[in-house]
Structure 1
Amino acid sequence: MKKRIMVCLLGLMMVFGLVGCGDEEVAPQESQEIVAIINGTEISAPLFRTYLWSAQQFFEMLSGPTVWEIDIEGQSAKDLAKERALESAILGVVAEQKAKEFNIVVSDQEKETIKAQALDFEAKSPGVLQEHEFTVADIEELLLLADLSTKVQAKMGENYMPSEADIQKFIDENKKFYETVTSRHILIKTTDDNNQPLPENIIAEKKALAEELLQRVKDGEEIGVLAAEYSEDPGSVMNNGEYTFGRGQMVPEFEQASFEGTPGEVWPELVETDFGYHIIETIKYTPADEQQMRDLFIADAKAAFSNSEIATLIENAQVEKTPLYNEIQIIYTPAEVVEEEIIVQ
């Protein structure tokens, strides 16, 4: 459920290409057919169709326009999209109710901004509103509620703080992934342009050259100068063989020699990888910034806590679907028509 909450909210924002501004309340709906009643709040058919259209676009963005012909998570994509649309509507209602409780207020200027954004969407996509039977007012309300959910979740996480033990555990277990090293290397390749091994006699010649270059570096020649002349690594040759990287970004043998080497010194032996032979000099080791790690963990923990709180509100929401809920369906182009259009183009 937590993941679905974020998908619903992300889908709303991405599909409309807008970042709305929240308000403590929305304009009352005119008398319309009702699709669902959530915690006593009626969800009109046009508003639900707005949620459904945004969910539809998000599904198609992820899986293409033929997604409606397949099953996802054991059910039809069409039914799943309707569920996501309803979850988004529930999220909007509980967020609006919590916003009132938290006295979350926005300015008149912010209200005008969201109205202008909704009008801009109408101007750019007038056919969408007509075909899917919703209005600019419905777009405004949807975006307002989506933004309210963001504000409410931020508010919920304000006073939460993970334990010092959990913070330190995260730092201790992940510190190595936040450290970086800068090193230079000379690569003498033992593979061809298709990454296939060269003949054994050529590999022997390559190794002899690599050993000669390693000795020249040990004798005092600059590895960067030799890299510019001899290295066969196109990714670093223009930078005198230099890379700055973290754990897991290079092949293991290269990473080990770079991180375990002494800054300012060359690794005493050739380092062999699937690419060939490397002469490696460690330049600088940068330890993990533990304060940065602490801040990141706290921010993530606050977000997880507020998501969990919102998920509980959604799960406990009183939801009554009307018969109209089952009648509303996604409007889409069948797969065979899409394929015909592609062939014609």
Structure 2
Amino acid sequence: MSEVEQTNAEQAKKMPVNLLVLGVGVALLLGLLGLGVSTVYGVYQVSENPVVVSLARAFKIRVAEVNDTPILYSEYIRDTNSLRLFYAKKSTEVPYDKNQQSDQVLSRLIANILIQQTAQELNVTVTDADREMAKKDILARFENDETKLAADLNDNLGVTLPEFFDRILEPTILEKKVAEQFATSTDPQNSGFAEEQVRARHILFTVNAPADDAKAKADATRVLKELQKGADFAELAKKYGTDGTKDQGGDLGWFGRGDMVKEFEDAAYALNKGELVKAPVKTQFGYHLIKTEDKRSTKNFSAYMNEKLKTAKIKVFGKIHNPFANLQGGATVTAQ
């Protein structure tokens, strides 16, 4: 066999292999395109099939956009599963329907994006020192035992420790820092968000049934007389309080208009700094003794972010409810 014939023969032997490789490449490409179409259809139908979710993650398929920043479908399903697990563990909670679950998850994801975008505008970042301080605060609640914290997170949210720090703690730290930066901002454009805030303590005498009303009011009136004689408010709150603030001496921290029920809010705002109510205040929860500790002028961060939300370009894809449709005057829902 001549050298040319030998070369041609070798090429002939190689040719089917090259065609086979090409065929596999085409088949793989067509397969991926087919998977992509199936995945997009699954996402549009809000499928929670693990295969659909995994492929949606690989293809980076979006469930929503906030000012062109994507929220991935895989993130949405991941957080939905965490929320369901959390409420499943809280057997006393009223279960949410599907739209309420979706709204809670998607609104938080959208808010996180808006906070990130606002942080960039205000030049706010989360430092390693911020992260370490927050981690220490969390761990302190679990006797500084990471194993206990990890077990609790896995049991109640289905997340690992690194996932918790990245997905939940980091956005919380950033939101707090953005709110603090906004409160001290001297930008005249933010002057319209100024508000007066109150810091107050309270002692709640709970009324669970109409039959409890008279006793709760009598108990509140008796304790009020002790306070009027100079008793320490925080100590009596720890002794008589019936809500979660009792361990903090009834301290409610700072709050603005709209943060509390109207009867409570009106009473707290009507008091001067250091002043105590002259009679128990009745709300839907029972009778409150209120002491206004301090007042300040600040900026309403919630109102500021609500304005951001109203003007944001939000798109929700597929058959997923837009939690901010009414606020924005109509949902933008698109099939991918």
TM-score normalised according to structure 1 size = 0.38
TM-score normalised according to structure 2 size = 0.39
Relative contact order (alpha carbons < 8 A, sep ≥ 6): 1 or 2 greater? 1
